[in-house]
């Protein structure tokens, strides 16, 4: 087997004879030359990705004021930074919204403003101790004024990511962008063929201490990222770099509508082609990288998978879901991912970027388990009223009125002959029909687009539905859409007052 060493490659980088290609060129090269030929010809493959990476932030050291302050609470342009470390150290997280402009300006925007050379307004509250007597402080700082501004991102560069669609009947605004109702579109993220980890899925090279391209500067892999899960093909990286060296071309603040701020970051990793196995791994194509399209219409942790697709399918512009062509588009930028891979390639070719030998390779086993929840919240079935009265759609409204008067409720679910939920009538609907002097069938006045809840649904979701649609009751239905109960805003408010 053809083998090469990292120091040989670094020597070639120094003497200008190194051969570097971008990861999208590798599949054809390996087809043409074979893995052994590719090891002979190619020294380094550069990868790149450019997308929203929420789990990002910066450690900032402000220097000591006079009198000195031990910061308890700090705001940069009204965005709170965490001060629970040493006196003038802060951690500014990318997704923290500002207290004045909300999600339109957040931690990511402060980071971009700093990198763009802008001044930020710092406000701090101190603890007031004998050694740090200062209680309050205001100052204006630029990036150069901080002693250190070190980016430390707990989870970046996902190997790949689940694509998103929405089966529900309303538009959803998510961190996967605007998802149109009834499978109206699919959004995906990730660079596919250029994705760093997809080109080194077994961590033959990437490890602790790997030098990378991060936001336009040279950064390093610290280790595996949070929720690192190589077993399922969802590996992640924790990375660090000096913010002062970064560029606002590769660090871009974003706001996802009705979700929050995030930071788009450009990350590129060079992969040395030391042996045939690495040549084969970097020959991965979009069609080899599979991911799930999951349904964000189901607001639960375990969102159902609608379909398994490849990045080739996603990048084609449409996929088929339930016999219908659905448009796809990306949230990460493939154009910028290419630019990152090219930029990294150029800096290796001109001898500015040498490859490091990792101190330790990354773990091939990780953990992305669900949260252990020790406090149980009730489900709909624990709170709903079970003595629900329903009416058939083919009765007259005066009978429906009698049913309402007989019970003590304002909502009457309407069912079909075979007992399935068809609609709902309220006391208001009936009063309106009577006021109009018309005796009609229930089916003529009922609301047909009826929202319902499932018995095993957490009450938070039922409460959110009541709020979203400005309604006060939801019929609870089983899997066959048969009404088994009713949950009302009264049931939910009783939970808080403890009267059950």
Q: Which residues are catalytic?
A: 131
Using the minimum distance from each CB to another protein, give the nearer residue, 51 or 272.
51
Using CA atoms, how far apart are residues 228 and 224, in angstroms rounded to an integer?
6
How many residues form the binding site for another protein (CB under 8 A)? 30
Handedness of CA 256, 259, 263, 269 (dihedral sign): negative
Cβ nearer to another protein, comparing 258 with 438: 258
Q: Are 307 and 318 in contact (CB under 8 A)?
A: no
Question: Is residue 21 within a helix (H) or strand (E), and if so which, with residue range?
Answer: strand 20-22
Q: Does 403 bind another protein (CB under 8 A)?
A: no
Q: CB within 8 A of 12, min separation 6: which ones?
A: 18, 19, 43
Asked whether position 327 contacts another protein by CB under 8 A, the answer is yes
The residue with tokens 């990705």 is: 49
Q: What is the CA radius of gyration of the chain?
A: 29
Q: Which is nearer to another protein, 26 or 483 (CB)?
A: 26
Contact between 347 and 214 (Cβ < 8 Å): no
Site string (346-385) toward another protein, x via CB under 8 A: ----------------------------------------
Q: What's the token pair of residue 275?
A: 């042996």
Give the largest CA-CA distance in the chain: 94
The answer to whether 54 contacts another protein (rule: CB under 8 A) is: no
Residue nearer to another protein on the CB measure, 191 or 446: 191
**88, 151, 279, 336: which one contacts another protein (CB under 8 A)?**
336
User: Can you tell me which of 98, 166, 255, 281 binds another protein, judged by CB under 8 A?
Assistant: 255
The angle formed by the CA atoms of residues 325, 326 and 328, to the nearest 5 degrees, is 135
CB of 285 to another protein, least distance (A): 16
In the bound state with another protein, the residue whose beta carbon lies nearer, of 176 and 421, is 176
Tell me the sheet residues that pair with 272.
44
Q: Of 364, 95, 359, 360, whose CA–CA distance to 228 is shortest? A: 364
CA dihedral 283, 286, 289, 293 (to 10 degrees): 170
Q: Does 330 bind another protein (CB under 8 A)?
A: yes
Which residues 59-118 are close enough to bind another protein by CB under 8 A? Answer: 104
Please state the closest distance from residue 442 (CB atom) to another protein, in A: 31
Q: If binding is defined by CB under 8 A, does position 281 make contact with another protein?
A: no
Instruction: Output the smallest distance, CB 318 to another protein, in A.
Output: 9
Closer residue to another protein (CB): 214 or 278 = 214
Q: Find residue 425's DSSP bridge partners.
A: 412
Q: How far is the CB of 216 from another protein (least distance, A)?
A: 14
Where do contacts with another protein occur on this chain (CB under 8 A)? Answer: 50-52, 104, 173, 177-178, 180, 185-187, 252, 254-257, 262, 264, 317, 327-336, 338
């Amino acid at each position: 087997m053809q083998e090469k060493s990292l120091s040989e490659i670094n020597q070639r980088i120094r003497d200008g004879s190194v051969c570097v290609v971008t990861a999208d060129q590798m599949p054809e090269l390996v087809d043409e030359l074979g893995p052994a030929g590719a090891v002979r010809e190619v020294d380094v493959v550069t990868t790149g990705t450019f997308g929203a990476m929420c789990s990002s932030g910066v450690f900032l050291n402000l220097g000591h004021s006079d009198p000195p302050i031990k910061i308890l609470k700090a705001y940069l342009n009204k965005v709170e930074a965490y001060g629970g470390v040493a006196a003038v150290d802060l951690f500014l997280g990318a997704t923290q919204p500002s207290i004045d402009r909300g999600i339109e300006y957040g931690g990511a925007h402060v980071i971009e403003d700093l990198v763009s050379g802008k001044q930020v307004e710092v406000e701090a509250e101190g603890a007031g101790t004998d050694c740090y007597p200062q209680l309050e402080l205001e100052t204006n700082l630029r990036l150069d004024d901080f002693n250190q501004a070190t980016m430390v991102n707990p989870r970046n560069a996902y190997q790949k990511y689940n694509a998103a669609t929405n089966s529900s009947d309303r538009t959803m605004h998510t961190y996967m962008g605007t998802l149109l109702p009834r499978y109206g579109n699919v959004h995906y993220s990730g660079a596919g063929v250029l994705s760093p980890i997809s080109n080194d899925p077994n961590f033959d090279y990437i490890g602790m201490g790997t030098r990378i391209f991060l936001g336009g500067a040279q950064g390093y892999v610290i280790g595996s990222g949070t929720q690192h899960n190589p077993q399922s093909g969802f590996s992640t990286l924790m990375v660090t770099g000096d913010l002062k060296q970064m560029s606002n071309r590769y660090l871009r603040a974003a706001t996802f509508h009705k979700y929050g701020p995030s930071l788009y970051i450009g990350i590129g990793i060079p992969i040395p082609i030391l042996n045939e196995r690495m040549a084969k791994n970097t020959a991965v194509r979009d069609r080899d990288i599979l991911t799930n399209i999951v349904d964000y219409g189901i607001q639960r942790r375990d969102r159902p998978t609608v379909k398994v697709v490849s990045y080739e399918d996603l990048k084609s512009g449409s996929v088929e879901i339930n016999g219908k062509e659905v448009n796809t588009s990306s949230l990460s930028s493939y154009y910028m991912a290419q630019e990152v891979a090219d930029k990294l390639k150029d800096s290796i070719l001109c001898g500015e970027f040498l490859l490091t030998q990792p101190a330790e390779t990354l773990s091939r086993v990780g953990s992305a388990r669900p949260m252990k929840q020790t406090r149980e919240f009730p489900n709909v079935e624990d709170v709903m009223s079970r003595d629900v009265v329903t009416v058939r759609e083919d009765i007259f409204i005066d009978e429906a009125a009698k049913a309402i008067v007989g019970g003590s409720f304002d909502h009457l679910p309407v069912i079909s002959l075979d007992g399935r939920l068809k609609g709902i009538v309220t006391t208001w609907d009936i009063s309106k029909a009577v006021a109009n002097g018309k005796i009609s069938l229930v089916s003529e006045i009922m609301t047909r687009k009826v929202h319902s809840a499932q018995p095993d649904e957490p009450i938070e979701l039922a409460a959110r539905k009541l709020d979203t649609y400005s309604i006060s009751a939801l019929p609870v239905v089983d899997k066959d859409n048969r009404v088994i109960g009713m949950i009302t805003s009264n049931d939910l408010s009783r939970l808080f007052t403890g009267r059950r």
